[in-house]
Chains A and B, each alone.
Chain A
Amino acid sequence: MTMIFGVPMAVLSGQLLIGVINGAFYALLSLGLAVIFGLLKIINFAHGAMYMLGAMITVIMFDALGINYWVALFLAPVLVGIAGMLIEYFLLRRIAGQDHIYSLLLTFGVALIIQGVLTNIYGVSGLRYVMPDVFKGGVNLGFMFMPYYRAWVIVVALLVCFGTWYMIEKTKLGAYLRAGTEDSQLMQGFGINVPLLVSLTYGFGVMLAAFAGVLAAPIYSVTPVMGSHILIVVFAVVVIGGMGSIGGAIITGIFMGVVEGLTKTFYPPASSAVIFLVMVVVLMIRPSGLFGKEA
């Protein structure tokens, strides 16, 4: 068997694959954070809760109504997106002029509520979601075994990331969004409905999180607390990458997943801490982040 640095090739590539998948989730989540941050200038602390909601809704809809994966992939993000827009409209909008720290605290409170209520109803032990039949099994690539579902996650996550990047950087709607980031008052002056744009942006950002949640449902354990840990990791990813560029958020997310996977192969005890350690190093060497624009 081929060995690389004393680790069998199959093990290494298996961990790398898991790393890329985790990285895809980090990318989707930090992308949503970056989109929201761009226009609203807030850090959405409820992002982890929205990711969790996406996964929970998928499982609950299947158990209660028999709604399948494909419908959930569309329906769960839409439901969460609507919930997000309601949160923006009824809560965030009321403190729009205040210090951004308040909106961070507000979304933190919202996250506590969502997570707490669901924990009471469903407990923390985790729900099971049966993978759709299409995805059972996998393909042998020669050097490793590739489960179909994991391949699907990577492909679809990358497509969504690219689509978001394209929409923001290349379309007219994206141009409005970027302009709003620069100067929302001027935008308003040009007759563009900025409050609506803000609502849509927040809704879209949390939709991305919920979409990641649906993708996660068949492979991760679905619990009401699944969002809080991954959110802290994603915060570290965002600090590493900087939120200045959409592309930067995507690349950093995937890269960090791979770093985590490699650490798990070569030095397992550090795997849960490695992203935070990378963050420390980045802060020392390049405080504004790898792709950051702000000082």
Chain B
Amino acid sequence: MSQSDIQKTILAQQKSEDRRKLILNTVLLVLLLLAPFAIYPVFLMKILCFALFAVAFNLLFGFTGLLSFGHAAFLATGGYTTGYLLSNYSGLTTEMGIIAGTLVATALGLGFALLAIRRQGIYFAMVTLALAQLVFFFFVQSEFTGGEDGLHGIPRGTLLGVIDLENNLNMYYFVLAVFLGCYLLVQRIISSPYGQVLKAIKQNEPRAVSLGYKVDRYKILAFVISAALAGLAGSMKSVVFELASLNDAHWHMSGEVILMTLVGGMGTLLGPVVGAMFVVNIEYQLAQGPLRDWVDPILGVIFVVTVLAFRGGIVGEVQKFVRKNMG
């Protein structure tokens, strides 16, 4: 085969792969649009919120190689801020509350990033965990969070003052739109030159430094974007469930988002979404059955098995399988 033939084959392969991707994405989109007619919308929204949370986390962990063990802090900060504002200022429309929650979480993310960036590897994980615990204590002792009880009866309100979000279908399509927007944004980020630098940092940080990249700035920005999206997920979650509680701030939640990302496939775009679906579903199914008290140990077992046997996660392993057998 001559050089140009090889190029042609590669191009043809690329084309067929693009077509496959397009078909897959269209099918997924149609499914997402039709889903609330088959499945309880609130359950779907729960999955979407956690999927966004996991996508945000994965941008940091899967693509930049930074393990944050404190992402619950951003989820909770978004949720509490939005919940407090919407409950106390009836003039606010829902999206204003959500934007405010996201902004506060973003600012907190910047604070976390500036501190945690000073240490590497597992120290980074420990610092974020400790900072998140500090935020947890703050929420426990603050008046505005309702302490142990949390915030109840957060009004869903109206979107842009027009669309009634008390209606579950309206709410669902709003959450879906936000989720898809963020998903595309993350996709754009990781395929941009900036995203390539993040991957380079993950692979070999000293090399990225020696190439002249100001690694810390890239890491901080990635952390802040990740915190912002996690905060957005928390804000939406508090509106969907009309509730913001300490559960979201607990270290357990930080562990859960790691599990979602790991099980789904870290460093892949779709992985965290699949992982969130998987974990939320398993928790739901277990809660119905005789094993309802065994959720934690079972999650622990899933953790151990994933780490030992398939570190690529569901999406990663499927990709590997497809590449081996169909490529």
Contacts and interface: CB of A to CB of B under 8 A. Distances in A.
B304 A116 contact: no
A257 B302 CA distance: 36
B129 A232 contact: yes
B107 to A, nearest CB: 16
Given A42-B122, A113-B300, A120-B294, A235 B129 contact: yes
Contacts of B118: 283-284, 287
Interface stretch (A95-103, A173-181, A203-211): A95-103
Given A111-B300, A235-B126, A280-B115, A102 B307 contact: yes
Query: Which label, helix, strand, loop or mixed, suits the secondary structure of the A interface?
Result: helix
B149 interface: no
Contact of A104 (B67, B127, B134, B302): B67
A232 B249 CA distance: 14
A102 B122 CA distance: 10
A239 B298 CA distance: 31
Contact of A100 (B121, B131, B293, B302): B121
A116 B255 contact: no
A159 interface: no
Interface string B290-307: 000111111111111001
A205 to B, nearest CB: 15
Contact of A236 (B130, B296, B301, B303): B130
Contacts of A116: 294-300
How large, as a class, is the contact surface on chain B? 35 or more
A197 interface: no
A211 B133 CA distance: 26
Nearest to B295: A116
Interface residues of A, number: 42
B123 interface: yes
Interface string B276-319: 00000000000000000111111111111001100100000000
A238 interface: yes
A68 interface: no
A43 to B, nearest CB: 5
B262 interface: yes
23 contacts: A42-B122, A43-B122, A100-B122, A101-B122, A105-B307, A106-B304, A109-B301, A109-B302, A109-B303, A110-B300, A112-B296, A112-B299, A113-B297, A113-B301, A114-B300, A116-B296, A232-B133, A236-B133, A239-B123, A269-B141, A280-B131, A283-B115, A287-B119
Interface of A: 42-43, 91, 94-95, 98, 100-102, 104-106, 108-117, 119-120, 228, 232, 235-236, 238-239, 269, 272-273, 276-277, 279-280, 283-284, 287-288, 294
